[in-house]
Every structure is written in structure tokens, then in C-alpha cells.
Structure 1
Amino acid sequence: MNLSIEEEVRSVGDMLEERKYDIAREMKSEEHDTDEALEFRSQLVGFFGKACYDQDQSLKEMSTWGQNTGQWAIDHGINLVDVLEKVSFLRLTIWKAIEAFVIDKDYSAKTVFALIHRLDPLLDEGIRSFTATFIDSYKMKIQEAHDNFLVLSAPVVPLGDGVAVLPVVGNVDSERAEILLDTALSEANSQGLSQIFIDLSAVPVIDTMVASHIFKIVESMELVGTHTVLVGIRPEVAQTMVNLGVRFEKIESYGTLNQALLRKNIFQHKTSS
């Protein structure tokens, strides 16, 4: 008795569900395979089988599978590129099993095309959700690393009783300026600072925007009773600032931190006390 195209498609689905663990073992690409990895692959084959009955439900389940598998790969330190390189092999293994079954049963070409239209979008959805999970995780890690860098890039180093230095290294933008200000105010309170040196010798460019951020930090520190001294403004930077119309006349400043410490007698005071 000849079967309809739908019946032939469903019989392929039955085969995939029955043989999902055997097909999953054929997908093995490493000598040391884990039961967990086998289970993930068998689930993948099972979704292909279910898609032969209900494509919409299988797409939803495949999306969840991709998210869970992506998280599993992240937790196990598996590289995204390595995983994507294996996708074609996984697809080929499943289609080889389908091909052998379809040829054995002498199913029509229309059945094969019906299977293609149902199954290929399924794996595409798995890849999309898997990759999205991977990308979101790395975005989160990059953001965490960025946030940690901003915090660690604003160390307030104590030099003596009530005196500290805040070395600023690299470019200063609005986000980093806020971190510098928050850290300086917090440390001024916790360390009981009466004076803080802001070392700008490692800031490559000081333009009007950076200058405004520095002014804000200085003014805020003065308001909480911490006198601020700027050090490390290099001659070429000073010249650029003058050309830009940036004025620091009201702020105490020195060419180097060492020069400021000598002029302010910081360590002499500490020794005499």
C-alpha cells in the first residue's frame, strides 16, 4: 500500500526517534565522549523526529535546546568556532540516516523535499539560539571586565597620614571620570584625607572635555575638605591646554609627583611627627 507524503514523513520521524541514540553515537567526534554530550546530541536527533509531526513545537524546543547547549558549552570552556565547525558534520550524519531510510523504503522525491523544508529550519534555529547564548555570555564577561578595569584603574594610594595619590593612566572619558570621582570621594572619607595628588603624567591627551572632568573632581574634593594638587602635566600637554583656553590658575599644580612631594614637605612632616 502506497503511503501519502505526510505518512512517509512521519515514518522518518519514527525512525529518528527510535534510533536517536545510535545516530548520536555516530556523531561522536572526540575519543573521550561524555554521557552528557551524548544526551545533548540524542535530544537534537529527537527534535528532528518530532518535527516530522509538529514543526512549530519542535522549533520552540530546539530554541530552548540551543540555549541550554550554549550554556553547557560555555561552562565547559568549549570554543564557539569549534562547535560551529561540527554543525555541518552533525547535519550530515542525520541526513545520511534519513537518506538510507528513504532509499530503503523507496519514498518519493516529494517526501525528501518535504523533509528538507521541515528539518533544515530546525537546525538553523538551534544554531541561532546556541550562538545568541554564546554571544550574550561573552558580552556580559566583556562588560564585567570593563567595569572591573574602570574600578581598578582608579587606585588611591596612601602616602602618609591624610595624604594620598591618585595616578590616572590612559584616556579619560565621562564614564571613567565618574569612577575616578566616586573612588576619590570614597577614599577621601575612608582614609580621612586632607590632601590628594592627582597624577596626570600617564594621560596622553587632555582636551577641554578631560579638563572639565578634572575640574569637577577637584571641586568635589575641595567641598569635602580634601585639598587637591595636580601633578604630571607634561609641557606639550600644558601647551595644548593653553591653546585650547584651558586654565588651571586656581588649582595648585606641579610638573612631577616628586617635585610636589618635595615642595609640600610631605615626608619631612611625616618623619618629624
Structure 2
Amino acid sequence: MQPYIISLLNNKRDAVLEHWEKELELVRSNNYLTTITDDVYENMNQEFMRFIISQVTTDQEEAKGHLSSFAEKYIQAGWPLSYFTQGLQAFRRVLLAFLSENESDVQALLATFSDLEEWIDGIVNQLVHDYTGNWEDIIEMQKLSLLELSAPLIPVLDSVTVMPLIGTIDTARAKLIMENLLEGVIEHRSQVVLIDITGVPVVDTMVAHHIIQASEAVRLVGATCILVGIRPEIAQTIVNLGIDLSKFPTKSTLKKGIETALELTNKKMIDL
């Protein structure tokens, strides 16, 4: 960092911060942060400004570590990346205005401007990199969590379990369904497994193929698979596509499926 910039910030720190704060108010309105309370915004704003000012005299490698920690903190808090990048652009404008007022040598001003550009761009690039990496990690973790929740196997009676499916079924989810089915059948010692597709909006050839594969796998480990929740429009689609579901039982509702499962396990429900 140019000694002249360090000297400027040391001598006119309060004036620079005052002008920068006014610029940040505009950034706040442009980033839809007006719903955040004034106290929360003010505390964060002051921390952001103090942090950037402190980076001027910090060792480069140490500054990178501090910046990563700062970015991670506010990523977790949900602050938008655009607020910080636009805030840094505002900081650059304010510094340039002060530099222009106090430096008459054009060559020296250009050198200082180039150094300032490089420093600000370096911070922006690292912020973008850290934000992108952190959000990718968060999204991947959420995706895995959703996948784990998307194919649950629920024991409802002795030897009878239900797998309710909701939403579209792609190849990755079909693989998870297969794994959960086989592990659950063994764990719960299931004789009958009900796959409920009431919440599956579309059953095409690929979805049917995955369901047939799952039922065949269940049969190989000694259990019976019943497909339930077949709505009239789904039944029509299956017929039109020529999909053969004759190898395992199908029922229109979960209730009818459970009744069939009770028969297969030599049980029945009676009214007391």
C-alpha cells in the first residue's frame, strides 16, 4: 500500500469514514436492507468500515486470513455479497476524492490510484471467492440433507413398512430410494413394503423403471412390494406408456395397501 494512502487515512480518518458512511446509506437502500433494524445495520456498518481501514496496514497474508473470517461470519448471517462489493467501490470513490484534493502531482496520483485499484480489487476478488465457496458448501450440505429426508422408510405395523415419496424422482434420488428400501427391509424385518407415490406429480417411463427395479430388489431380499397411491391420471399415463406393473401388487390408496399388507402377513384389524 502506498505510504501516501496510509498517511491520508491516519490524518483524515474521521472525514473519510463520515463520507463513506453516507455512501453506504445509498448502498443499503439499493440492496433491500432497509428492513434491517437501524441498530443492527449501524453495528454491522461500523464493523465493516473499521475492518477495511485496519486492512490497510495489515500484512498481506494475515489480511487474507482476517478477510476470510470476516466473510464467513456475514455469509452465515445472510448479508448479501453485493453490499460488501458495492461498499468497497464506495470506499474507493471516497478515497479518490480525498486524494484528488490533496495531490497535485498527476504522476504520483496515477501511481496511488493504481495501487488503490489493485488493493480494492484484491479484496473484492477474495470476498467473491470466499462467498462462492461457502455457499457451494452450504448448498451441497442442504442438498444431501434433503436427499436423506426425501426417501424415508417408516415402520407402521409389525413386518409392514411404508415409504412415502413426494416430488420428482431423478437418478440420484432413485439410487437413494433403493438403498433405503433394502437397508430398511433388513433392519425392520419387513415382510411387506408399501411404496406410496401419492405425492409424485408425474410417473413417466424412467420413474416407473426405477420403481420396478426397487420392487425387484425388495423381492430378492424376501419381502413383497406394493405400489400404492395410483391416481386415475397416473394409471392412464402408465397404460398409455405401455409400462408393465403386473409383477407386483398395486393399490389406489395407502389404506387399501395396508389392508392387503395385513392379509399377506396373516393379520387383520377388528373393531372393539
Q: TM-score, normalised by structure 1?
A: 0.78
Q: CA deviation at 1:41?
A: 1.6
Q: CA deviation at 1:163?
A: 0.4
Match of residue 79 from structure 2 = 78
Match of residue 161 from structure 1 = 158
Q: TM-score, normalised by structure 2?
A: 0.78
Q: CA deviation at 1:92?
A: 2.4
State the distance in 1 between where 2:234 and 2:196 align: 13
What is the 5 A alignment of 1:39-188?
39-46=50-57, 66-102=67-103, 107-188=104-185
Map Cα deviations across residues 39-82 of structure 1 (whole Å, 9 max, x no partner): 522233337xx9xxxxxxx6x77765643432232244433233
Secondary structure at the residue paired with 1:229?
strand
Q: CA deviation at 1:193?
A: 1.0
Matched, 1:12 2:10: no
Give the gaps of 5 or more residues in structure 2: 25-40
Match of residue 204 from structure 1 = 201
Contact in 2 for aligned 1:168/1:203 (Cα 8 Å): yes
Contact in 2 for aligned 1:23/1:45 (Cα 8 Å): no
Contact in 1 for aligned 2:230/2:251 (Cα 8 Å): yes
Contact in 2 for aligned 1:230/1:252 (Cα 8 Å): yes
Secondary structure at the residue paired with 2:43?
coil
Identity value in percent: 26
State the distance in 1 between where 2:83 and 2:185 align: 50
Contact in 2 for aligned 1:24/1:41 (Cα 8 Å): no
Q: CA deviation at 1:127?
A: 1.0
Contact in 1 for aligned 2:160/2:261 (Cα 8 Å): no
Q: CA deviation at 1:22?
A: 5.2
State the distance in 1 between where 2:115 and 2:42 align: 32
Q: CA deviation at 1:168?
A: 0.7
1:250 maps to a residue whose letter is K
State the distance in 2 between where 1:20 and 1:140 align: 41
State the distance in 2 between where 1:88 and 1:141 align: 27
Task: Tell me whether 90-99 or 63-72 shows the greater mean CA deviation.
Answer: 63-72
State the distance in 2 between where 1:173 and 1:72 align: 35
Give the gaps of 5 or more residues in structure 1: 1-8, 51-57
1:40 maps to a residue whose letter is F
State the distance in 2 between where 1:70 and 1:252 align: 55
Contact in 2 for aligned 1:194/1:226 (Cα 8 Å): yes
Contact in 1 for aligned 2:92/2:116 (Cα 8 Å): no
Match of residue 218 from structure 1 = 215
In angstroms, what is the RMSD of aligned CA positions?
3.1
Matched, 1:32 2:43: yes
Contact in 2 for aligned 1:154/1:168 (Cα 8 Å): yes
State the distance in 1 between where 2:44 and 2:257 align: 64
Q: How many residues align?
A: 250
Q: Which has the larger radius of gyration?
A: 1
Q: CA deviation at 1:38?
A: 5.3
2:100 maps to a residue whose letter is E
- Say which of 230, 237, 244 aligns to 1:247: 244
Secondary structure at the residue paired with 1:220?
helix
